[in-house]
């Protein structure tokens, strides 16, 4: 009989009444839940929950039952406005995980505390005007508590609401990082979500010890065989003074990137048997003891006043008050990873964290496990410098040591895949138009990495190979016969004005003049355009895979979640999207800093794949430190850049074949067109809200475009006339129209 009752209950649950989509989202946000948290709890994809809240799809059994139960419980806690139910004691905007409930005697006003990590908000199917765009959750009152139950510091004072959220690793219940500041002679650690800990330590060795023993800081690993993220401490200037460190580095220390070995704090660490990595005690110092078994003992320091947070990528984050800085870095850490250095270093470390080089083997005959290569990773050992294909390495590499001293390698000797820097004079017809409109591809290089097949091991040299578009590598081939005036677009041949188009095969847009080295995506595009290719030789990598997919997904999700918090969602109409993008960073400047840092992580991480020598007495022909990394992979960088450039050219050709419009200038991922109006909608061929298939599409997703800026045609002609440069790249200045003499070498 009980089985029959269970069957009846399941049948009723399958028809459970659910609130309207907008109410579903309101209830989730009210409880401080992200879409990812709901998706994880229900064991569905993030996009599935987003679709339920947008009204695009409806849950089906068995998830429908659990989802209805969740919403029913949330509705009891957070009734809709006007409902005849007493409001819960807890505020409707619950702080994010790691937030302690305010202690009545210690809580401060909300304006002094940091904001919690913002919930991931998805816009409704019919987006509201920008004025109604979802804002970040309000900042909770700051809560100070002692850090552990140690007799030295006393018991925790946090209320039950401060316990870790479901699914939170109790080892890291206070978050991934803390900003250490000193107020009224008392050291405080500002954590994510508004929590503030008392810090009893009075020296750097004691601070490291306290962090590992009592602070409960850190983050769980991103992949199964990986390692947990070490805790990060950010030291303000007052904290530097407390711990005997200078507020700024001297010129000599800045150039060296570290404190001198004889500094008092370094001697203190040595006496306490703590070690520093090769980078020494600099803006991003790592303090550790050798691991024993699986237990790690490592703390990382970030010192903003030593320029740890580069203003080019983090803006003025280093000048923020401690609570606000903890919020910015905390959001970045939760959505990308705990910073490991500059955004470039973090971008590279994220690749390794998602694809650890080793994993534990199956037990052997004695039941012991051993370290073995993790399939799909780049391995733990770097490629021997002398085994690199000469065409793929930069000048000065050891494999080129026998070249004449002042030899300049040409296209037939060097793989040169770089982003566009191209421009042309305007035609008479274009000069009659009124405006120049720039559009910019969102996260262009991230989109170029998505789904890209890259080599995982060493290259094999092949003579007269048959080109295989699925085989990563570098190919010596003559593409000068590709005529852009007649190309294939899809399955049809189309006639174009080839003189108004850049070549897809060179960064400057010039037509190749003979055999040159190209990455696989570039050669594959020549075939796509309808032309035969006959490589002379190649370096191919038969061991390959989509190594960057997880990296792309992580950064894409971080970018989209933060943009959604700023009121720019993925399902906005073209006009609403342009409106939402207008001044989006001003809605929450702190989250605007996170967006900038995520973008810099993409470009910097890819740049690190071909890191050049950084001083240290290096001479051409000698190896440099970066070559010892498995992630020193200039071939992967070249493939991503090639694919990004090809993706852009494909859209330009599609647009030209349909509209007859050609770009005036291209700089990396920014394209400028002449138009009669000031908006991208004045030249992008939308029909009933739908874009040209395969062409440019407005939107926030990586690979889609946004408005970069608009200037007048008269402005463009005056700038080019001033510098006597009819092909001056106007894409460089289209954003705000500012051009200085220094920009043009004068």
- Higher per-residue confidence, 322 vs 161: 322
Contact 608, 631 (CB under 8 A): yes
Beta bridge partners of 422: 666
Assess whether pLDDT exceeds 60 at residue 456: yes
State the average pLDDT over residues 149-170: 41
Q: What letter does residue 517 receive in the DSSP assignment?
A: E
Q: How confident is the model at residue 744 (pLDDT cuts 50, 70, 90)?
A: low
Assess whether pLDDT exceeds 70 at residue 163: no
Assess whether pLDDT exceeds 60 at residue 11: no
- 197: three-class secondary structure by DSSP: strand
In whole angstroms, what is the distance from residue 164 CA to residue 170 CA? Answer: 7
Residue % of the chain over a pLDDT of 90: 70
pLDDT of residue 5: 58
Interval 302-317: pLDDT, tens:
999 999 999 999 999 9
pLDDT of residue 43: 84
Which H or E run contains 264? helix 264-271
Contact 65, 105 (CB under 8 A): no
Contact 536, 477 (CB under 8 A): yes
Q: How confident is the model at residue 15 (pLDDT cuts 50, 70, 90)?
A: low
Backbone φ, ψ for residue 510 (5° rounding): -85, 145
Which H or E run contains 472? none
- For the chain, the distance separating the N- and C-terminal CA atoms, rounded to the nearest angstrom, is 90
Looking at every residue in the chain, the average pLDDT score rounds to 86
Assess whether pLDDT exceeds 50 at residue 617: yes
Least-confidence region, from 77-91, 258-272, 351-365, 379-393: 77-91
pLDDT of residue 91: 33
pLDDT of residue 549: 96
What domains sit in the chain, N to C, each tagged with a CATH number? 2-77 (1.10.260), 110-125+140-339 (no CATH), 385-419+449-545 (no CATH)
pLDDT of residue 743: 55
Q: How confident is the model at residue 215 (pLDDT cuts 50, 70, 90)?
A: very high
Contact 102, 143 (CB under 8 A): yes
Q: How confident is the model at residue 147 (pLDDT cuts 50, 70, 90)?
A: very low
Contact 631, 609 (CB under 8 A): yes
State the average pLDDT over residues 694-718: 97
Interval 226-244: pLDDT, tens:
999 999 999 999 999 999 9
In whole angstroms, what is the distance from residue 334 CA to residue 341 CA? Answer: 16
Kind of pairing between the strands at 232-235 and 295-302: parallel
Assess whether pLDDT exceeds 50 at residue 323: yes
Interval 279-299: pLDDT, tens:
899 999 999 998 776 677 999
In whole angstroms, what is the distance from residue 231 CA to residue 229 CA? Answer: 6
Interval 559-607: pLDDT, tens:
999 999 999 999 999 999 999 999 999 999 999 999 999 999 999 999 9
Strands (E), 107-263: 143-145, 177-183, 186-191, 195-198, 232-235
Alpha helices for 78-225 (secondary structure H): 204-213
Interval 17-40: pLDDT, tens:
788 888 898 888 888 788 878 888
- 704: three-class secondary structure by DSSP: coil
Beta bridge partners of 20: none
In whole angstroms, what is the distance from residue 55 CA to residue 117 CA? Answer: 26
pLDDT of residue 13: 52
In whole angstroms, what is the distance from residue 741 CA to residue 746 CA? Answer: 5
Residue % of the chain over a pLDDT of 70: 85
Structure tokens at 154: 């006393």
- Higher per-residue confidence, 736 vs 77: 736
Contact 496, 484 (CB under 8 A): yes
pLDDT of residue 88: 34
């Amino acid at each position: 009989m009980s089985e029959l009752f269970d069957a009846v209950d399941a049948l009723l649950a399958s028809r459970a009444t659910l609130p309207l989509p907008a109410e579903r989202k309101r209830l989730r946000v009210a409880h401080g839940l992200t879409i990812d948290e709901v998706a994880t709890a229900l064991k569905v994809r993030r996009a599935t929950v987003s679709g339920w809240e947008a009204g695009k799809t409806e849950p089906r059994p068995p998830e429908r039952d659990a989802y209805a139960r969740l919403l029913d419980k949330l509705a009891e806690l957070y009734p809709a406005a006007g409902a005849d139910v007493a409001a819960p004691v807890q505020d409707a905007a619950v702080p994010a995980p790691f937030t302690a409930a305010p202690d009545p005697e210690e809580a401060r006003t909300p304006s002094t505390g940091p904001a919690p990590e913002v919930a991931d908000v998805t816009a409704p199917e019919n987006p509201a005007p920008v004025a109604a765009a979802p804002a970040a959750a309000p900042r909770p009152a700051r809560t100070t508590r002692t850090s552990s139950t140690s007799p030295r510091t006393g018991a925790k004072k946090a209320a039950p609401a401060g316990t870790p959220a479901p699914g939170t690793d109790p080892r890291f219940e206070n978050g991934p990082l803390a900003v250490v500041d000193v107020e009224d002679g008392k050291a405080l650690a500002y954590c994510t979500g508004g929590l503030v800990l008392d810090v009893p330590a009075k020296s750097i060795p004691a601070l490291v010890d306290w962090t590992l023993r009592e602070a409960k800081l850190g983050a769980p690993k991103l992949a199964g065989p990986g390692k947990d993220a070490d805790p990060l401490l950010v030291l303000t200037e007052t904290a530097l003074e407390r711990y005997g460190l200078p507020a700024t580095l001297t010129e000599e220390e800045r150039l060296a990137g570290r404190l001198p070995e004889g500094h008092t704090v370094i001697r203190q660490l040595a006496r306490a048997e703590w070690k520093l990595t090769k980078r020494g005690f600099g803006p991003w110092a790592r303090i550790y003891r050798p691991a024993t078994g699986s237990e790690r003992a490592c703390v990382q320091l970030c010192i903003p006043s030593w320029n740890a947070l580069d203003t080019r990528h983090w803006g003025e984050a280093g000048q923020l008050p401690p609570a606000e800085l903890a919020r910015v870095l905390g959001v970045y850490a939760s959505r990308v990873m705990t910073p490991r250095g500059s955004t470039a270093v973090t971008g590279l470390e994220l690749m390794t964290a998602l694809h650890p080089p080793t994993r534990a083997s199956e037990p052997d005959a004695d039941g012991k496990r051993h370290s073995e290569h993790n399939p799909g990773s780049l391995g733990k050992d770097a490629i021997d410098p002398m085994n690199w294909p000469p065409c793929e390495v930069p000048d000065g590499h050891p494999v080129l040591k026998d070249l004449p001293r002042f030899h300049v390698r040409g296209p037939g000797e060097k793989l040169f895949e770089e982003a566009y820097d191209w421009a042309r004079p305007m035609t008479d017809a274009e000069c009659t138009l009124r405006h120049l409109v720039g559009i910019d591809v969102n996260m262009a290089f991230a989109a170029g990495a998505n789904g890209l097949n890259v080599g995982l091991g060493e290259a094999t040299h092949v003579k007269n190979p048959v080109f295989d578009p699925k085989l990563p590598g570098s190919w010596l081939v003559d593409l000068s016969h590709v005529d852009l005036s007649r190309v294939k677009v899809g399955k049809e041949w189309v006639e174009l004005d080839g003189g108004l188009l850049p070549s897809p095969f060179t960064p400057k847009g010039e037509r190749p003049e003979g055999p040159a080295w190209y990455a696989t995506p570039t050669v594959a595009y020549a075939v796509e355009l309808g032309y035969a290719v006959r490589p002379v030789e190649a370096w191919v990598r038969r061991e390959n895979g989509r190594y960057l997919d997880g990296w792309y997904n992580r950064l894409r999700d971080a970018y989209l979640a933060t943009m959604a918090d700023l009121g720019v969602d993925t399902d906005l109409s073209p006009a609403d999207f342009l409106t939402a993008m207008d001044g989006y960073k001003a809605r929450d400047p702190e989250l605007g800093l996170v967006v900038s840092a995520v973008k810099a992580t993409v470009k910097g991480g890819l740049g690190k794949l071909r890191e050049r020598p950084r001083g240290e007495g290096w001479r051409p022909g000698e190896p440099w430190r970066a070559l010892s990394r498995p992630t020193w992979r200039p071939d992967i960088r070249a493939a991503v850049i090639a694919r990004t450039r090809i993706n852009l050219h494909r859209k330009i050709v599609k647009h030209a074949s349909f509209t007859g419009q050609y770009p005036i200038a291209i700089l990396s991922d920014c394209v400028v067109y002449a138009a009669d109006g000031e908006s991208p909608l004045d030249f992008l061929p939308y029909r009933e809200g739908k874009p040209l298939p395969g062409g440019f599409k407005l939107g926030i997703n990586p690979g889609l475009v946004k408005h970069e800026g608009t200037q007048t045609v008269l402005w463009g002609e005056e700038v080019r006339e001033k510098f006597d440069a009819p092909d001056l790249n106007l894409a460089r200045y289209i954003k705000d129209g500012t051009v200085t003499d220094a920009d043009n070498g004068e």
